[in-house]
Amino acid sequence: MTKVRTTLLSRKLTWVMAAGLFLTSLSLSAQNQADRILGVYLTAQKDGKIEIYKQGNRYFGKLIWGKDTHHPDGSPKLDIKNEDPKLRKQPILGMVLMRDLEYEDQQWVNGRVYDPNNGKTYRCKLSFEGEKLQIRGYLGISMFGRTEVWERVKH
């Protein structure tokens, strides 16, 4: 009788361990898919590079290079169109332009994207079309917005 219990217990333990390993591998696979977005991208107009990075479980995008981020005298261009007067003295280069994106169902959602050209912030979601990153900025619902396509670059 003890041998039968030991065998049953061993089988249950083996099943629990296998299920645990399977769930762990699914979790790691989902995390790898979520982190696929990490890297540097050239904007659609090819006038800026955005580095997408992760903090906690959220994704952010920072301007790390731009064609038009300095005045002819070399001084940095500032965020003069920002709706918040306290932020108008910050340089555009180095700004976090995308924030708080969460990975869900093979896309990054619930984020905000800031456009320093007009000082407006929009809701956004990101997804891949092949190897190209689709950025959808919108007001209210996604139907009323605009999509840009960015290409991954190596720095």
User: What is the per-residue pLDDT across 105-131, written as a single tens digit (0 to 9) for each?
Assistant: 999 999 999 999 999 999 999 999 998
Residue 102 pLDDT: 98
Q: What angle do CA 24, 28, 33 make, to 5 degrees?
A: 150
Residue 97 pLDDT: 97
Residue 26 pLDDT: 42
Q: What is the mean pLDDT of the chain?
A: 88
- 75 and 19 within one domain: no
- 75 and 45 within one domain: yes
Sequence letter at residue 18: A
Q: Is the pLDDT of residue 6 over 90?
A: no
- 115 and 71 within one domain: yes
- 125 and 99 within one domain: yes
Residue 4 pLDDT: 62
Domain tally for the chain? 2
- 92 and 52 within one domain: yes
Q: 68 — phi, psi (to 5°)?
A: -125, 50
- 52 and 12 within one domain: no
On whether the CB atoms of residues 64 and 94 are closer than 8 A, the answer is yes
Q: Is the pLDDT of residue 18 over 90?
A: no
**Burial class, 90, CB count within 10 angstroms (exposed 0-12 / middle 13-18 / buried 19+):** middle
- Write out the residue range of the structural domain in which residue 143 sits: 38-153
Q: Cα Rg for the chain, rounded, in angstroms? A: 22
- pLDDT tens digits for 46-80? 999 999 999 999 999 999 999 999 999 999 999 99
- 45 and 18 within one domain: no
C-alpha 60/C-alpha 97 separation (Å) is 8
C-alpha 114/C-alpha 118 separation (Å) is 9
C-alpha 4/C-alpha 49 separation (Å) is 65
Q: Domain holding 86: CATH number?
A: 2.40.128.520
